[in-house]
Amino acid sequence: MSRCVEETSTTISNLRALQQKLDQQLNEDINEKMYWKRKCELLEQEVKDLKSKKTEPVRSKIATMSSEVVDSNPYSRLMALQRMGIVDNYQDIRNYTVAVVGVGGVGSVTSEMLTRCGVGKLILFDYDKVELANMNRLFFTPEQSGLSKVEAARDTLTNINPDVEIHVHNYNITHVDHFDHFMNTIGTGGLQGNSVDIVLSCVDNFEARMAINQACNELGQVWIESGVSENAVSGHIQLIHPGRTACFSCAPPLIVASKIDEKTLKREGVCAASLPTTMGVVAGLLVQNTLKYLLKFGEVTEYLGYNALNDFFPQFNLKPNPTCDSNACLKQQKIWAEKAPVQKEEEVVEEKVLHEEDWGISVVDEEGGTTSEDLSVTEGLRLAYTMDKANNDNLQENLVSVDEGTSLEDLMKQMNQL
Amino acid sequence: MVDAATKKTLAAIPLLKTKAGPRDKEEWPMRLKEEVTSLIKYIQNNKEADNDWLRIQSNKEGTRWFGKCWYIQDYKKYEFELEFDIPVTYPSTAPEIAIPELDGKTAKMYRGGKICLTEHFKPLWSRNAPKFGVAHALALGLGPWMAVEVPELIKRGVVVHKDDQPSGE
């Protein structure tokens, strides 16, 4: 009997200990739950605050641009251009649509300038995200890291000027899946469903420039190409009017001579340097030329280079190449020739045959030793390379012969099984 | 710069005949057949020369390519996944080959792990378009890049062989 009582009391005390332990654990769980609940509430509040900050522009939309000079009028200084006789009708800028391809060091500043000028509609294309590595350039801020460039830009720009209609596209235009949409947007993205008024190329690579070139050649769309060299000390803008001026594939890219001996340039360690100054200058030149083109004042430049080391600005006119690699360019050349049979090109720069192709002889490399003089087009400007096939090392011709009887699927299978 | 060895490798890769990009619906399949035939030959050449260093395949449209490439140093094989898209302006412009897993580990890369090619690659490609294909891009672009960058990445300890990596989570 006493043994039974003893056992029962041990069980009771064990159960009590267990109960205590469970209570303690429950308390801890409740505390933790409370902690996370509170944390969630705080974060939600923070998001709400940030959102309200973002979505409420400081001012409401303004229906017509006024030239009244008062502190509250964001357009008074722009409308003064009209009073001074520089521009005939500044307000026309509201009818224009500009597409900016590439919203990086040059494109973001370009978009900001156009937004502050009060352009009617801006269409932005970029597939990149904002990174801390971009902070040596203008426009984006560290808090925007991780956001897509086009969306971050839209937020900032809408806040600066809510009158500008901003559309953004977050994709790579060189992809087969996006190119048609890109072309369609250029062709119908204007304010009245017409084509955009001008495309500005602010991309940082050859492939994207060629994609813009192809789209604009096919559409007959005027565009301005811009670029900053990888050593960050030169840049350029180039107006391309398909058929009338050289397109981007009429000749190898032009290089603004930096007067640095190429051999001393240490390219081994890195691919690209950048400076906010050079990019700001190029964006300024690009938007200036755009304003002149759209609002029809001053002289619209066809090619303007910028050499930062010598403060030299070479200018140049480029005629289209009748043997251009792009069929769409040749088609535009024909259309233009019919439109303007007597071409009034004031300053005809000596035309060089840049592109003599005869397919099927040999593989060529540059060891033939082209001198820099071969590449020079005007003072301070040269071609990136020649398409010259002279002095090449003849390699044995080795053309592929495709087995007609084998299907593509079988060939692919064969390749996968290697 | 193309050295004698590369030139020899290059000469053995069949050149392509059809000038067509992925937007040329009619001629692209023919170009694709040439691409694959040329690639098979290139990989076979590599095997014969005891220099097998890559495998590659594409989606059925031939617009997206992916595969593996490897580099051998001190009897250890370092393997990387590679990928690239065929741009709309191909073959006027070369594909931009990427090794995403090395993104941010070397300055000789653009965002997304696209390899930074020598200044000589693009002129060489332009001069030889449209006869150069994917096999040429790999032989002239990726091959020399790996030969220079991978030993450097190993030396800096940024790339560690999978057997030498600390085990566990």
CA atoms within 13 A on the CB side of A24: 6
**B 92-131 residues with CB < 8 A to A:** 92-94, 96, 107-111, 116, 119-120, 122-124, 126-129, 131
Distance, CA of A365 to CA of A352 (rounded, Å): 21
**B28 or A259, greater pLDDT:** B28
Whether residue B166 lies inside any domain: the answer is: no
User: What pLDDT, on a 0 to 100 scale, did the predictor assign at position A362?
Assistant: 44
Question: What are A383's strand-pairing partners?
Answer: A254
pLDDT tens digits for range A60-97: 899 899 888 888 899 999 999 999 999 999 999 999 99
Domain containing A277: what range? Answer: 76-253+269-339
Whether residue B118 lies inside any domain: the answer is: yes
H helical segments located in chain B = 4-11, 28-48, 121-128, 134-137, 143-155
First to last CA, chain A: 85
Residue B40 CA, distance from chain mean position: 14
User: What pLDDT, on a 0 to 100 scale, did the predictor assign at position A200?
Assistant: 98
A310, A339, A368 - which closes a domain:
A339
Whether residue B148 lies inside any domain: the answer is: yes
CATH number at residue A248: 3.40.50.720
Whether residue B116 lies in the annotated active site? yes
B74 by DSSP, 3-state: which? coil
Where chain A has pLDDT below 70, the residues are 1-2, 52-56, 258-270, 341-374, 388-396
Cβ-Cβ contacts under 8 Å for B124 (sequence gap 6 or more): A364, A365, A366, B2, B140
Whether residue B141 lies inside any domain: the answer is: yes
Contact A176 B57 (CB under 8 A): no
A120 and A236 within one domain = yes
CB A316 within 8 A of CB A303: yes
Contact A211 B87 (CB under 8 A): yes
Contacts of B14 in chain A (CB under 8 A): 398-401
Single out the residue of A195, A222, A226 nearest to residue A209, CA to CA.
A226
CB B138 within 8 A of CB B97: yes
Contact A400 B37 (CB under 8 A): yes
User: What pLDDT, on a 0 to 100 scale, did the predictor assign at position A91?
Assistant: 95
User: What pLDDT, on a 0 to 100 scale, did the predictor assign at position A3?
Assistant: 74
Whether residue B101 lies inside any domain: the answer is: yes
Give the chain B residue whose CA is nearest to the CA of A402.
Answer: B34
**B104 or B19, greater pLDDT:** B19
pLDDT tens digits for range B130-161: 999 999 999 999 999 999 999 999 999 999 98
Single out the residue of A132, A141, A137, A117 nearest to residue A281, CA to CA.
A137
pLDDT class of B169 with cuts at 50, 70, 90: very low
Distance, CA of A165 to CA of A184 (rounded, Å): 18
Distance, CA of A370 to CA of A387 (rounded, Å): 10
Whether residue B23 lies inside any domain: the answer is: yes
Whether residue A391 lies inside any domain: the answer is: yes
A361 and A335 within one domain = no
CATH number at residue B95: 3.10.110.10
- What would the DSSP string read from start to end of A252-299? SPEEE-----GGG---SS-S----HHHHHHHHHHHHHHHHHHHHT-S-
CA atoms within 13 A on the CB side of A139: 30
Number of domains in chain B: 1
A223 and A99 within one domain = yes
Select which of B40, B116, B147, B148 is catalytic. B116
Portion of chain B with pLDDT greater than 70, in percent: 97
CB B136 within 8 A of CB B6: no
A339, A365, A396 - which closes a domain:
A339
Single out the residue of A173, A165, A166 nearest to residue A127, CA to CA.
A173
pTM for the predicted model, two decimal places:
0.83
Q: For tokens 């005007």, name the residue.
A: A378
**B 37-56 residues with CB < 8 A to A:** 37-41, 43-44, 47, 55-56
A393 and A301 within one domain = no
A339, A365, A389 - which closes a domain:
A339
Single out the residue of B111, B113, B132, B110 nearest to residue B123, CA to CA.
B132
A303 and A367 within one domain = no
Cβ-Cβ contacts under 8 Å for A69 (sequence gap 6 or more): A76, A80
Contact A415 B120 (CB under 8 A): no
CB A275 within 8 A of CB A339: no
Whether residue A40 lies inside any domain: the answer is: no
Whether residue A317 lies inside any domain: the answer is: yes
User: What pLDDT, on a 0 to 100 scale, did the predictor assign at position A348?
Assistant: 45
Whether residue A70 lies inside any domain: the answer is: no
Facing residue for A176 by CB, picked from B22, B44, B119: B22
pLDDT tens digits for range B35-52: 999 999 999 999 999 999
A282 and A395 within one domain = no
What the block records as the tokens of A222 is: 């005027």
Whether residue B165 lies inside any domain: the answer is: no
Domain containing B71: what range? Answer: 4-155
Question: What are A121's strand-pairing partners?
Answer: A97, A165
Question: What are A307's strand-pairing partners?
Answer: A234, A312
A221 and A369 within one domain = no
Whether residue B160 lies inside any domain: the answer is: no
Number of domains in chain A: 2
Whether residue A409 lies inside any domain: the answer is: yes
